[in-house]
Amino acid sequence: MPARARLHATVAALIPSAQGDIPVLPGPPGRRMFVQRDDDAIVAQTLDATTLTPSDAGVRFPAPWPRRRGTWAVAPDAGLAVFAGVHAVRAVEPSGATRWEVRHGCWYGACPEMHRSYDEYADNEDHRYPEGGSAGFSVDGKLVWAHIRGPLPEGELSPDTTSPS
């Protein structure tokens, strides 16, 4: 039986298409967000459950590295974003503060380094197109899953590896 499609709502892009990724609509039905990523930030707006139009002014999460250097996820309440990058998974608040970070093995396969920051490999052509991990939030936003590359720094996670708030 054919289904009929109709336009339900239109939402203006938060970032011009020439500068950002295509918009995504993460979240469970009734709690969707309109989210876009560019090299400098993730921008997220909560959508009204009925009309799917923006219900707030939105929130901006400053990005620790360019968008082609990893993946990202936004918590269901838009209070935190997680960036899964070449050398670390970092949770960032809208203020730009790092809530926590876990460093891991470099996603560029031939690199044995445990990088401390993006600046260490930003201009290195070998690191231009690394493989990458992923991150996601549980529906209630209390848990983050991350797919990373080992190894983690030896021993237990320390303040050098993680920085919880």
Report the pLDDT value the prediction gives residue 160, as an integer from 0 to 100.
53
Flag whether 139 is in a domain.
Answer: yes
Q: Using alpha carbons only, how large is the chain's radius of gyration in Å?
A: 17
Of residues 116, 120, 124, 130, the one with CA closest to residue 86: 130
Flag whether 4 is in a domain.
Answer: no
Per DSSP, 151 falls in state P
Flag whether 123 is in a domain.
Answer: yes
Mean pLDDT per 10-residue interval, the chain, length 165 residues: 84 84 85 91 89 81 91 93 93 95 88 88 83 88 89 63 50
Flag whether 5 is in a domain.
Answer: no
Per DSSP, 118 falls in state G
Report the pLDDT value the prediction gives residue 159, as an integer from 0 to 100.
57
Report the pLDDT value the prediction gives residue 155, as an integer from 0 to 100.
60
Domain count, the chain: 1
Flag whether 159 is in a domain.
Answer: no
Q: In sequence order, what E strands does the chain have?
A: 33-37, 41-46, 59-62, 70-74, 81-85, 88-92, 98-103, 134-137, 144-147
Flag whether 94 is in a domain.
Answer: yes
Report the pLDDT value the prediction gives residue 74, as an integer from 0 to 100.
95
Report the pLDDT value the prediction gives residue 165, as an integer from 0 to 100.
45
Report the pLDDT value the prediction gives residue 137, as an integer from 0 to 100.
94
Domain extent, residue 99, equals 33-147
Flag whether 153 is in a domain.
Answer: no
Flag whether 21 is in a domain.
Answer: no
Report the pLDDT value the prediction gives residue 81, as an integer from 0 to 100.
96
Per DSSP, 21 falls in state P
